[in-house]
Each structure stands twice: as structure tokens, then as C-alpha cells.
Amino acid sequence: MNIITKLAVAAGLATALSSAVLAQDISGKVIGFSQIGSESGWRAAETSVTRQEAEARGVDLKFADAQQKQENQIKAIRGFIAQGVDAILLAPVVATGWEDVLAEAQEAEIPVVLLDRGIEAPEDLYLTAVMSDQVLEGRVAGEWLVEAVGDEECNVVELQGTVGSSPAINRKQGFEEAIAGHDNITITQSQTGDFTRSKGKEVMEAFLKSTNGGEDICAVYAHNDDMAVGAIQAIKDAGLKPGTDIKVVSIDAVPDIFTAIAAGEANATVELTPNMAGPAFDALAAYWADGTEPEKFIITESKLYTAEDDPEGEYERRKDLGY
Ligand code: GZL
């Protein structure tokens, strides 16, 4: 191949590449984000990472905080539709009650992408859902406890997430699947702590009080680390040693749970990435570029961390991510 041809081929490749990159360019797009609120450290990190991902792509992000109320999310979505945004990101606080407003977005030909929670609605109402396998998260947490207690009798108290939310439903299911067949492990009390530290502490105090100071509680399973951190405080206030007298297992892998694990006050957490927006923006870019339909569910990893996994280092790696 002579030099002229080589240059022409190189130019062609470069053009193809740059047009591919340009085709993925979503700078200038206006995207509405209906966020649940800031109930947990993980949620705050998701918001912070979403803003960073938007800025990196030149996206004009319109942010709406719903203070954990579905009616505020529905109002925000209607506002985005009226504004004529190019796309909507929705972290749905609960799993039901979305059909009407998402049908309005569909009617307006505005693609919707779900972040970190699922909904019970026809799948054609959203382009894709970027989330973890929440049943697997519960199963991983349950399998850790099965391993940790062996044949020992173990009464577990459960701090559930927000009532009616997909993580609360799925993480409960997964944990129960893992302990099924291990008759020595029983969930003796289960109540929502709404994914917050304060409620997690309050409910754990009630669990301790109702069992004569926690004498027969072997473990607490919290659907997120923030409720676990609240529970740890309640266990200490009751004069018991969290992580030893009462095992602590939860989900999210926020910095503060690694501090607790390093101190021996918590035992295990299952990681949930706060970066759901990156894959969401990439799916929208491909969809806008050439109509590429993404997978309906883009599933993020769920990894178990315990004291054997350098908790101090994991804290350092996460502490500046906006939790
Ligand atoms: C799970 C996410 C949950 C987190 C909590 O995907 O929706 O909501 O586990 C947050 O910390 O409140």
C-alpha cells in the first residue's frame, strides 16, 4: 500500500472514530433528574456522582429533590415534560404508581431512565433501568451470616428499607432465600428504618428493649449501611459490643461502614456503586446517536467486603466521593 493510500486510510479511520465519538457526544442535552432525596450517605453520593458525570459530558442537568415523597417526583417529572427536556432520570422512591406519569413522558417522546430502583410497570415506559441485583445483595448478606454462625442458634433482627421500595422488597427476599434451610437462623423481628441512620437507631433501640436488652439477638441485618450505623450506636448505648455480641451485616459499602468494620463494630457490607448515571448517559448517547436500544436492565456489581478486605483502604478510596 503506497503512502498516499495509507494516509487516506488513516484519515478515514480517524474520521470514522471522531464521528463515532461525536455521535456519542451529548453535550448541550437537557436532562431532568428526579432524585428521591438525601436519606442516606449512598444517596448523597449518587447525586454527587450524577452531577459529575453530567458535567463531564456537558449535559445541562435539571435536579429535583423529592424529600422522599412520590408526589413530589411525579410533579417534578411533569415539570420536566412541560420544559421539554431531552430525557428524564428517575430514582423511584417506591415501586408502584408510575404508569400515568411515565405514559405522559412517552407521549411527549421523552426517554426515561430508571436509576437504582425498579418499578412495577410496563417495561416500554422506560428506556432502561440501571440498578444492582437487589435480590442477590440480600442473598450475599444472608450467605455471609450463614457462614459466620455455622450451627449456632442465631436470632436476627432486620431493619428494612423504605416500605414499598424495590430494594426493601428484593433485599428481604434474597436474605430469606439464603437462610432458608438453616433452621438455626431465624428472623425474629423486622421493621422499616426507612434507610436512615436516625430511624435505624430508633428501631434497633425498640428491638433491644423488647428482648430484655438484646440478650437473645445474635445479628442485625440492615438493608443499608446508614441504618446499620444507627443500629451500632443503639447497641453500644445498650452496653453491648456491636460486631461481637451482635453481628452487623448491611449493604451499600459507604465510607462510615468501613470505619465501623475496621473498629470491629460491623462485620460485612455488600457494595453498591453510586455511579448509576454514567451507564445511563452512555445508553442515552447510543440511543440518540443511532437508535440503539439498550438492555432493559443494566445490572451493576455486588461485592462483599469484610474485615479481611482492607477496610481502612476502602474508606480512603471512598471518602471523597460525596457520601
Ligand atoms: C438501592 C438504593 C437504596 C440504598 C440506600 O439501590 O435505592 O436507597 O441502598 C438508599 O442507601 O436510600
CATH number of 3-131+273-299: 3.40.50.2300
User: With contact defined as beta carbons under 8 Å apart, do 259 and 233 qualify?
Assistant: no
Ligand 1 pocket, 224 CB below 6 A? yes
Q: Which residue ranges in the chain fall short of pLDDT 70?
A: 1-23
Closest atom of ligand 1 relative to the 131 alpha carbon: 6
The CA 144 to ligand 1 mean position distance, Å, reads 20
Q: What is the DSSP letter of 323?
A: -
Which residue, by CA, sits nearest to atom 6 of ligand 1? 116
Q: Do residues 286 and 304 lie in contact, with contact meaning Cβ atoms separated by under 8 Å?
A: no
Q: Domain boundaries in the chain?
A: 3-131+273-299, 135-272+307-320
Atom of ligand 1 nearest to the CA of 167: 1
pLDDT at residue 316, as a whole number: 97
Name the DSSP class of 309: S
Architecture per CATH, 135-272+307-320:
3-Layer(aba) Sandwich (3.40)
Residue with CA closest to ligand 1 atom 9: 224
Instruction: Tell me which of 116, 270, 321 to substitute to probe ligand 1's pocket, judged by most ligand atoms within 8 Å of the beta carbon.
Output: 116
Residue 200 Cβ contacting ligand 1 at under 6 Å: no
**Bridging pattern class, strands 297-300 and 247-252:** unpaired
The response to whether residue 252 sits with its C-beta less than 6 Å from ligand 1 reads: yes
**What is the whole-number distance in angstroms between the Cα of residue 43 and the centre of ligand 1?**
6
C-alpha cell at 233: 450506636
Q: How far is the CA of 2 from the centre of ligand 1 (A)?
A: 59
275-290 exposure pattern, b = at least 16 Cβ within 10 A, e = fewer? bbbbbbbbbbbbbbee
State the closest ligand 1 atom to the C-alpha of 252, by its place in the atom list counted from 1: 9
- The pTM (predicted TM-score) of the whole model is 0.93
What distance in angstroms lies between residue 134's CA and the mean position of ligand 1's atoms? 10
Instruction: Give 10 Cα–ligand 1 centroid separation in angstroms.
Output: 47
Give 57-88 pLDDT, tens digit per residue: 999 999 999 999 999 999 999 999 999 999 99
Domains 3-131+273-299 and 135-272+307-320 share a fold: yes
Q: What is the structure's pLDDT at 24?
A: 76
